Amino acid sequence: MPPKGKEEESPFGVLEFMHWDHDWNCHKYPDRKSLERAAALMKEAGIGIVRFDFLWEDIEPTQGKFNFEKYDLIVEVLSKCNIKILGILDYCASWAAGSGEWNSLPRENRLFINYAVRVISRYKDKVKYWEVWNEPDSSTYLSKQDGLKSYCAFLKEVYPAAKLADPDCKILNGGLALGLTSVNRLYDNGAQNYFDILNIHVFENPLYPGRAKAVAAYPKMCRKVMVRKGDAEKEIWITEIGCPGVKRGVDTADWWLGKNPNEKQQAQWVKDVYAELLKQKIASKIFWAFFRDCNGHWGSGIDYFGLVRWDFSLKPAYNSYRECYGDWRNNTGRSQKSP
């Protein structure tokens, strides 16, 4: 709940790969036109904040050589639509990885810190939320798994440098993928004073009964941990929640939680999870993953997480999201102009 007298901020966000302009992602956003098309649809749906990576490899492809052109454009387009940004600072630049792996921590933390400080400083007038890495508790996104010990030591170095670069910015831990165990490890490893907002990811398969209640239970359990640790004043953000919406007749492998929901079932899941989480009022922001379908990137139902299809046509889930936002806006008495 917001402090008395303060307007409640919109909790509606999305994860979208605005930075994808590479061969390996079919050049999802190759130009201003595609970015502006996505941003306009986001604004129409009521999306207030977008989460995407500020890839180290893109920005500093060679040590000491920075290129911000791509990200300057993305920030400009979203800012013009009054859409906020949660920037993810990740992964490892190839030249900085001791093992050469993109999903490893750098051989020297100072190399990452230098990049992070440059990014935060450049965009501090327009970007106030930064996430340090993505899913550090998953071996997919951080190769070395040691119960978050290495990650927490890393976070303890990045956080103060980020605050020096922009004292007003808010730092999120890397979104946690593996549940309450990871939340406890974050605290047990002494990271409490090195993030401003607790960041979690929540996925359930809507084809199984009662899953919306399970989604709502997770931030509630996180809040109990935070209260026990004396950290109850911090916000909780769910920066990934979603499911596939596969059009009938499309043949693709199932996603990691089982059978793929169809587009109609995905649309209902949007309504169910937002209704449960907004009623609970524990998670301050809820980011649907993703905004737009992908073009065969994962080779499974994950490619169909979007609210809109690859060709930007609207899925039923887009309309559900827009309706959820409209209901929230009406219930909070917000202006028709505000996303």
291: CATH:
3.20.20.80
* In a domain? residue 339: no
pTM: 0.95
* In a domain? residue 5: no
| Mean pLDDT of all residues belonging to the chain | 95
Residues 279-322 pLDDT 10s: 999 999 999 999 999 999 999 999 999 999 999 999 999 999 99
* In a domain? residue 77: yes
The C-alpha torsion from 110 through 195 and 187 to 200, rounded to 10°, is -110
Q: Please state the domain count of the chain.
A: 1
| The predicted structure's pLDDT at residue 339 | 45
Mean pLDDT throughout 201-209?
96
> Residue 333: pLDDT band by 50, 70, 90 thresholds?
low
Mean pLDDT throughout 125-143?
97
> CB burial class (10 A; 0-12, 13-18, 19+) of residue 69?
exposed
| The predicted structure's pLDDT at residue 3 | 36
CB 339 within 8 A of CB 43: yes
The runs of H, that is alpha helices, within the chain are 32-45, 56-59, 69-80, 109-123, 149-165, 180-188, 211-228, 263-280, 316-332
Quick check: 7 pLDDT over 70? no
* In a domain? residue 7: no
* In a domain? residue 337: no
* In a domain? residue 6: no
* In a domain? residue 160: yes
**CA–CA distance, 151 with 136 (Å, rounded to integer):** 7
Q: Which domain holds residue 45?
A: 12-332
* In a domain? residue 33: yes
